Amino acid sequence: MTMAEDDAWTISANEAFVISLVAPGPNGKESRFHPKFTYPIFGDEEEIFGYKDLQINLRYNATDMRPHLSVKYSKKFPPIGDAEALDIKDVLSEFLPEVAFQKAKDWETALAKSCDDWTPPGALLNDFKTKAGRFEVWKGSLADPAVKQLIKRIQILVPFFIEGGTAINVDEPDADRWTVFFLYQNKPSPTDPSKSTYIFAGYSTVYRFFFLQLPPSPPTTPPPSEDTTTTTATGPINEEFDLGSSSFDISTLPCRSRISQFLIIPPFQHLSLGSRLYHTIYQEYLSHPPTKEITVEDPNEAFDDMRDINDLRYLRTLPSFQALQINTDISIHKSGPVPKNIIDEAAAEKVRKAAKITSRQFYRVLEMQLMSQLGESVRPGFTMDEKERGKKVSTGLERKEYALWKLLLKKRLYVHNRDALGQLELGERVEKLEEVVKGVEFDYARLLVKVEDQESKQEGGGEQLRKQKQAEESNGASANGKGKRKATDEIDGGDEDGESVAFARKKHRVG
């Protein structure tokens, strides 16, 4: 077979594959969209061989997300030697439950039925209203069969929209350590307005990692005991140590709760629903005593932006966070170590632990907050260039505060990139660090503009929403993650494409 003949039978998997979200009931609205990635399923080239006019349609009942797969084409390549058309259904059987391959008539019959008595699995956790309607967040455990069934139906969306994303093994013995948060739109039923119909909008999964907190060091030589039968160099050992009850509830152990998969599907993007879902999850674990830290698995740029903005807006509601200031009373020396008391480190740690935010994330957000408080004449800006800022007269105290802020930032960046910087000569090290600082300043300024826009939107209404969307589009940071981040804070990293409102691939960012 020649290359030209091969190309004639090859089609883009992204273009051939269409996902449909169909509302139940008569004349239900259908939303159609293409996957963003298909390489985890169809290979790195994202191409399918062996068909002409290929159409792959994965239709979902928008309520219970029951799927149905249909494959249509005008011609199929006749096998020649080792060359044969890809068995599409066989490939997709690894990503879809068996119900997706049942007859179309069965799926359509189920779709036509009223879903007025159906509710998402789990328990209702939060509900809110937006201009797009009313939405609800439902929380459940993967140990719940109903939650497990729904996850099996929608997991193919993970590789489709989360770069590097992988499905959960729903049959793991520790399934109860997975918590799932479903986001649904609640709409009046088309057949009975007094009842509700649920439309799937997105979901997130959270996994609990248990970790040991070391107790205080025991005394060197324990007191003697009649029950002691063994002696070591450090003293006697009590062999009748109480191991606790077998009925101990492991869910009460200290843990880190890690946001794993996070997805808002395309028909519901650009509506700030990702922020609403993230805020709901964060507040849930903020009030969850066993959770000591809320972490995120390999966030992409779009998720990072959303997380930064939400974390900063939440922390700004805390008087203890607002009280953290740069100590301008300390002296700046031309050489030597960076002063340790630029901020009250003990007070900052206390706020961080109470907020359950990881160290890297917290101090990045704190740096944003402190930068927002710098004098306008020295504060790095997103829209103001050096000449415009230079026209504003700065005081000695403002210049000193900015210098201290930069020292605080450089110290953290240096520690985070110590291995990479250690391979450079001193002059190159200083130059590279300064370059990264400028990139971080730009990124912080960009994020602060978004924070201010969102806060103004709450006060000013629709006009601010329009301005916010314009800013997001012009800055290459739209809700679906398209575009590139213009600054990077990683010493050895470069700009990377963003992804949809989801995450999986690590981005190059310090902090």
- Residues in binding site for acetyl-CoA: 262-264, 269-275, 300
Structure-token pair, residue 287: 């009030």
Virtual torsion, Cα 413, 416, 418, 424, nearest 10 deg: -50
Alpha-carbon distance of 339 to 411, in angstroms, equals: 10
Q: Which residues contact 218 (CB under 8 A, 6 or more apart)?
A: none
Alpha-carbon distance of 100 to 98, in angstroms, equals: 5
Residues found in the chain: 511
Q: Which of 67, 65, 31, 35 is nearest to 48 (CA)?
A: 35
Q: How far apart are the first and last CA of the chain?
A: 53
Whether the Cβ atoms of residue 497 and residue 484 lie closer than 8 Å to each other: yes
Binding residue positions: 262-264, 269-275, 300
Residue with tokens 């719940």: 144
For this structure, is 297 an active site residue?
yes
**Per-residue three-class SS string for 416-460:** HCHHHHCCCCHHHHHHHHHHHHHHHHHHHHHHHHHHHHHHHHHHH
Structure-token pair, residue 473: 């589009």
Q: Which of 495, 484, 508, 505 is nearest to 298 (CA)?
A: 505
Alpha-carbon distance of 47 to 249, in angstroms, equals: 49
List of E strands, 158-234: 178-188, 196-210, 230-232
Alpha helices, H only, 155-225? 157-161
Q: Which of 132, 274, 133 is nearest to 204 (CA)?
A: 274
How buried is residue 508: exposed, middle or buried, by Cβ count under 10 Å (0-12/13-18/19+)? middle
Alpha-carbon distance of 511 to 177, in angstroms, equals: 28
Structure-token pair, residue 494: 């470069």
Checking DSSP bridges between strand 255-264 and strand 291-296, what pairing results, if any? parallel
Structure-token pair, residue 283: 């507040």
Alpha-carbon distance of 363 to 343, in angstroms, equals: 11
Checking DSSP bridges between strand 51-52 and strand 17-22, what pairing results, if any? unpaired
Q: Which of 265, 309, 278, 304 is nearest to 506 (CA)?
A: 304
Cross-strand bridge partners of residue 10 = 49
Pick the catalytic residue: 15, 297, 452, 473?
297
Eight-state DSSP code of residue 244: -
Alpha-carbon distance of 17 to 48, in angstroms, equals: 10
Q: Which are the catalytic amino acids?
A: 297
